[in-house]
Amino acid sequence: MSRYLITSAIPYINGIKHLGNLVGSQLPADLYARYLRQRGHEVMFLCATDEHGTPAELAAAKAQQPVAEYCAEMHKVQKGLSDGFRLSFDKFGRSSSPQNRELTQHFAGRLYDAGLIEEVTERQVYSQDDGRFLPDRYIEGTCPNCGYDKARGDQCENCTKQLDPTDLIDPKSAISGSTELEVRETKHLYLRQSAMRDELNAWIDEKADWPVLTTSIAKKWLNDGDGLRDRGITRDLDWGVPVKRGDAPWPGMEGKVFYVWFDAPIEYIASAREWAEEKGLDDAAWQRWWRTDKGAEDVRYVQFMGKDNVPFHTLSFPATIMGSGEPWKLVDYIKSFNYLNYDGGQFSTSQGRGVFMDQALSILPADYWRWWLLSHAPESGDAEFTWENFQQSVNKDLADVLGNFVSRVTKFCRSKFGTEIPSGGSYGQAETDLIEELTRRVRAYETHMDNIDIRKAAMELRATWVAGNEYLQSTAPWAAYKEDPDRAAAIVRLSLNLIRVYAVLSHPFIPDAADQMLAAMHCADDSWPDDIAAALDVLPAGHAFDVPDVLFRKITDDERDDWQARFSGVRD
């Protein structure tokens, strides 16, 4: 048994996330965590809400709520939706937690002592109409690199280029829309990332197994232009982690908070600490996941995120950990994703275009979405959600292949043999061939899951479902029953056992349906099918079963057309 630490990108607190956000980090991370647990590994799966910075303040102002109250409310909403999608976090924390505040201030003190933080007097945008300095994300304008007209003052989400607010063309306040902006002097703390460029470069060079998408983005940020730049880690805001050097005040930094991208990744560590404290465990319980001097040297740490988050997790967060000089665990593998687009365009939170997590669960159960999103994960390039493709995938993969197999086998057995697994008959060449094919496909499925090749794993899983249907069709127990009931009994006995195997294999992708299949088989044995022949003999003759409700219903053309129209406009 090995130990795996898994984290997914921390979602902003500002509202409900769309399906593109979900498939870009949390959902594939959950798939991997579920699979590893099934294989007997020890897993710590962590995430949290990112509650500081501009998005939180703007969203709270729009909701006419105090920002702390808004964040507490939205954390409950996001946690509820993650539960609805069956995301199996060990802890879904909050970046506003006391644990994160303490750890953030601790890291800042360590970095300062190491000479990696310096005070810089900078010229920052001040809004006369708003009466305040505007942090990067409070400023919007046109990207000078790609021309995207909604670029933020820290980064263009379209081309991912790192920006300063003064780089933007036609900048305006994201609070009021005012263009009455001027540049004034203010003092901030900067993390001297440039001083760690060689160390970060060497570290990334060691990661030969990382996806090309991950390393190419990291290298671009490291080597383009002037290379890795020093970045401000404080902002003139009220809401956030107060700037302190450990427990001590930071002279000249009164009234300032740490920049959200400095404190948010530290919440990964804080979440483990929150988890331990909630369970009444001591520091050793969480430190064994995060401190290499406390046992974490044996942990494999895997992160999941969209490509826009890659620079911060390949450079800024590692710079924080390395620069502290303390034995914190660094990430071993970063699984990054391209974008999921929506029906000929882009998902848009601001415009409400696309399907959001709450809307998705209001029209169909989680497994329908989990299957489509994971089987179409944007790994090698951007992917696109269309209602036609979604309907086709649900109807053909889930209803016609998996659901149909379960329904045909259980209903036929009930009609001819009752609701106990029949005895009699023996296996022949058809069963030998099926076992050989399933063995080959399950081993391939395991390889793809181990390598986090999600679309390939989904294709192999579906192929196992198809193999069962083809076996059933070729052996035709309904015809065999007329001439040789014992032969029909043997076919049905193996097929009912195959339902249990399908439940186990499918659990990481569609956990609710998997649980439904196991319940129908009156079976709590969810052991992994290392030996397919043995796995197809777990449920003996005489074992009772139920005919389950329809696992997956088909999506009608009218539903498809209605949803396509409903989710193309502006969200209320």
Known binding positions for ATP: 349
β-pairing, 244-245 vs 181-191, is: unpaired
Q: Which amino acid is at 228?
A: L
Q: Cα separation of 200 and 178, whole Å?
A: 40
Residue 248 φ/ψ, nearest 5 degrees = -90, 150
Give buried/exposed letters for 419-436 (b at 16+ CB in 10 A, else e): ebbbeebebeeebeebbe
296 touches 285 (CB < 8 A) = no
Tokens of residue 94, six digits: 């909050």
Q: Per the structure block, which two tokens stand in for 138? A: 């409070």
CA dist 339 and 23 (Å) reads 9
Q: Which residues make up each annotated binding site for Zn(2+)? A: 143, 146, 156, 159
CA dihedral sign, ordered 138, 144, 149, 155: negative
- Taken in order 304, 309, 315, 321, the sign of the CA dihedral is negative
Whole-number Å distance between alpha carbons of 528 and 510: 16
- Six token digits for residue 117: 């933080």
Sequence ranges of the binding site? 143, 146, 156, 159, 349
Alpha helices in 315-379, H assignment, sequence order: 317-323, 357-363, 366-375
- Beta bridge partners, 118, equal 190
What whole-number distance in Å separates Cα of residue 306 and Cα of residue 8? 9
Contact 314, 214 (CB under 8 A): yes
Distance, C-alpha 336 to centroid of its chain = 10
Question: Which of these, 409, 411, 410, 364, lies nearest to 387 by C-alpha position?
Answer: 364
8 A C-beta contact, residue 287 and residue 295 = yes
